[in-house]
C-alpha cells in the first residue's frame, strides 16, 4: 500500500465510526424519549353534548412572547389554579374532568376526579385546548367549550 491509500483507508474508517456513533447517540435519545412519553385516550363531551373519542390527548396552549411570536406547549398534565398556587395535575392520575364555563371570558372552573376517587375544585390556569386524534383526523377541543373529559 502506498501512503495515499493508507490515508484514504484511515479517513473512511474514521468517517464510518463517526456516522455510526452519531446514529447511536441521537437514535438512542430519540428512542428513549418516545418510550417515556405515555399516550392517553379520552372521551370528550362538548357544550353541544357531542361525544368525541380522542387518542393521544395533550393539553395545548400558546405562550405569547412578543407581538408576533408564540411558543406552543403540548402537556400531558393540566395546569390549574387553587387559590394563588398553580398545580400541574398529571393525566396519569386523572379519571375525569368536569368543566364549567365562567361565562365572562375568564378561564373555566374544573372539577377533577382522580383515579383514587379524590375530587378537587380548580380554575384552569391557562386558556388552552385538548388536542389529539379522532377517527376523522386531528381534533382540537377548546377547554372553554367542553363539559367533560373522561380518560380511558
Residue 107 banded pLDDT, cuts 50, 70, 90:
confident
User: How high does pLDDT run on average in the chain?
Assistant: 85
Tens-digit pLDDT profile for residues 21-68: 556 555 554 444 454 578 999 999 999 999 999 999 999 999 989 989
How far is residue 33's CA from residue 53's CA, in Å, rounded to a whole number? 26
**DSSP result, 46-73:** ETT--EEEEEEEEEEEEEE-SSS-EEEE
- pTM of the predicted model over 0.85: no
Amino acid at each position: 500500500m502506498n501512503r495515499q491509500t493508507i490515508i484514504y483507508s484511515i479517513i473512511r474508517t474514521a468517517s464510518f465510526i463517526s456516522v455510526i456513533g452519531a446514529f447511536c447517540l441521537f437514535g438512542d435519545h430519540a428512542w428513549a424519549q418516545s418510550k417515556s412519553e405515555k399516550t392517553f385516550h379520552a372521551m370528550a363531551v362538548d357544550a353541544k353534548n357531542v361525544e368525541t373519542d380522542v387518542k393521544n390527548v395533550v393539553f395545548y396552549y400558546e405562550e405569547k412572547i412578543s407581538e408576533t411570536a408564540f411558543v406552543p406547549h403540548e402537556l400531558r398534565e393540566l395546569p390549574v389554579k387553587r387559590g394563588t398556587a398553580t398545580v400541574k395535575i398529571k393525566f396519569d392520575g386523572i379519571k375525569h374532568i368536569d368543566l364549567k364555563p365562567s361565562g365572562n371570558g375568564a378561564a373555566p372552573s374544573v372539577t377533577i376526579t382522580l383515579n383514587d376517587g379524590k375530587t378537587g375544585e380548580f380554575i384552569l390556569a391557562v386558556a388552552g385546548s385538548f388536542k389529539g386524534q379522532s377517527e376523522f383526523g386531528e381534533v382540537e377541543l377548546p377547554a372553554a367549550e367542553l363539559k367533560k373529559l373522561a380518560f380511558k
